[in-house]
Amino acid sequence: MNITSLKKKINSNQKIILFGAGRLGKLALKALQANGLNVYAFYDSSEYKQGEEVCGVKILNLNELSALEKTSIIFITNNYISYVQNFLKKLGFKSIYDCINIFEEIKKIKINQDLNEYDINSIDREISFHKTAIDKSKIENDESLHLKCIDIVVTEKCSMKCKDCSNLMQYYERPQNSDLDLMFKTLDKFMGCLDSLYEFRVLGGDPFMNKELHKTIEKLKSYKNAQNIVVYTNATIIPKNENFECLKNDKITIEITNYGKGLSRKHGELVELLSSNNIKYRSRPPGDWNACGTLKFYERTEEELQRVFDNCCMSDVTTMMNGVLFRCPFAANATNLKAVPYMEDEVINLNHNITDKDSLKKSIKNFNKSKKPLTACSYCGGRDYNSEIIKPAIQTKKPLGYIKIEK
């Protein structure tokens, strides 16, 4: 629903509720307020947020949400679209909408101090991801192949040892850098099938742990069908020489997770270096972490496994590791660690001799639209909207133990 339609539809007795009090919620709030529409409240499942305010608007708890008139208009301001729709329908609400048209309005608004964490590139990125989450079938049903992102794992090495890392870095005893020849060969196959890619997500570990990172960055720059390159770092390492020079490109943004002075000890130095060289960056605190970074087997029914998969926020984050495409970074690293069995029918192995581009393109499309739970889902705590929230970045002194699968 767009702003014009909303103004025609809403009556004086209806309340507007925003489901999700994070970055998307703040964007939607400002767009609605700028068009003269009053937002009654937010709802957020994070208990520590409930009772607080965002830009002067209260965050409701579940009891308060349930007590609202069922004629209330609710906008989903997160990317757990199907889960939230089903959740709200069970509560009796009927006027439930995504926010894609609302978000478009934000571009017309002068960004004020309440939105100082955003620039136009950040807004475009949020809109693009929300659009993908709304209806994946819009992309899947035509012959073209467009992806929002792919994770490119350049190293298993990390300068931190977060015991709940969802990418499982805390389990690597002898972390290695990725094989560049293998990566480049398989990347060419993959990118040769895509009509467009919104962004490469370059990560590890911490990419700056890899002294040859610049070679990967230069390779990614060369793909004309890729729009953006985002390099993720924890601000513990200052890139130098070629690893720094390669970042001076309009395609590149450095995504800094600022864990505070005790952990992100070089945050100030890194930000100053990037700023003085006009390199784009975003710096944000870690936010909420889900309790999904523990490797163990969960006894789940087929229905429970399907729910874990359907509501996962990472099930469409294609991850390339060792020349193989996985549906999510957890599956990639868990398989690499031999904590879950390698399942040929759940991946696309680009190491195979694939010469038919059209056939590979079709395989990638089918791979990305599959709704079948992964074997790795049985070993993951789940990353859905209702998962347990934990304190981020608790450190462990040594790699954690786990059970390896001999297969």
User: In the chain, where are the structural domains located?
Assistant: 3-132, 136-390
Contact 256, 283 (CB under 8 A): yes
- Please compute the mean of the pLDDT values over residues 354-379 and round it to a whole number: 91
The Cα 355–Cα 378 span in angstroms is 34
Give the full edge-to-edge strand order of the sheet including 16-19: 53-54, 57-60, 41-43, 16-19, 73-76, 95-97
Higher per-residue confidence, 405 vs 252: 252
Percent of the chain with pLDDT over 70: 93
The Cα 98–Cα 79 span in angstroms is 9
Does the domain made of 3-132 have the CATH classification 3.50.30.60? no
Topology alike, domains 3-132 and 136-390 = no
The Cα 325–Cα 152 span in angstroms is 10
pLDDT in tens, 52-80: 999 999 999 999 999 999 999 999 998 87
41-43/16-19 β-pairing = parallel
The whole-angstrom distance between residue 200's C-alpha and the CA centroid of its chain comes to 12
Contact 255, 282 (CB under 8 A): yes
Instruction: Tell which residue, 230, 160, 152, 233, has the closest CA to residue 198.
Output: 230
The Cα 121–Cα 139 span in angstroms is 22
Q: What is the pTM of this model?
A: 0.78
pLDDT band per the 50, 70, 90 thresholds, residue 311: confident
Angle at 312 between CA 310 and CA 316, to 5 degrees: 90
CATH, range 136-390:
3.20.20.70
pLDDT in tens, 123-136: 777 777 777 777 55
Instruction: Tell which residue, 251, 255, 245, 269, has the closest CA to residue 206.
Output: 255
Residue 190 amino acid letter: F
Q: What's 250's DSSP letter? A: T
Strand runs labelled E in 49-167 = 53-54, 57-60, 73-76, 95-97, 146-153
Higher per-residue confidence, 405 vs 245: 245
Predicted confidence at residue 184, as pLDDT, reads: 98
The Cα 395–Cα 340 span in angstroms is 24
Predicted confidence at residue 118, as pLDDT, reads: 56
- Average pLDDT of every residue of the chain: 90
Residue 96 main-chain phi, psi, to 5 deg: -120, 130
Indicate if the pLDDT at residue 283 is higher than 70. yes
Residue 122 main-chain phi, psi, to 5 deg: -65, -40
- Please compute the mean of the pLDDT values over residues 306-331 and round it to a whole number: 91
Q: Could you tell me how many residues make up the chain?
A: 407
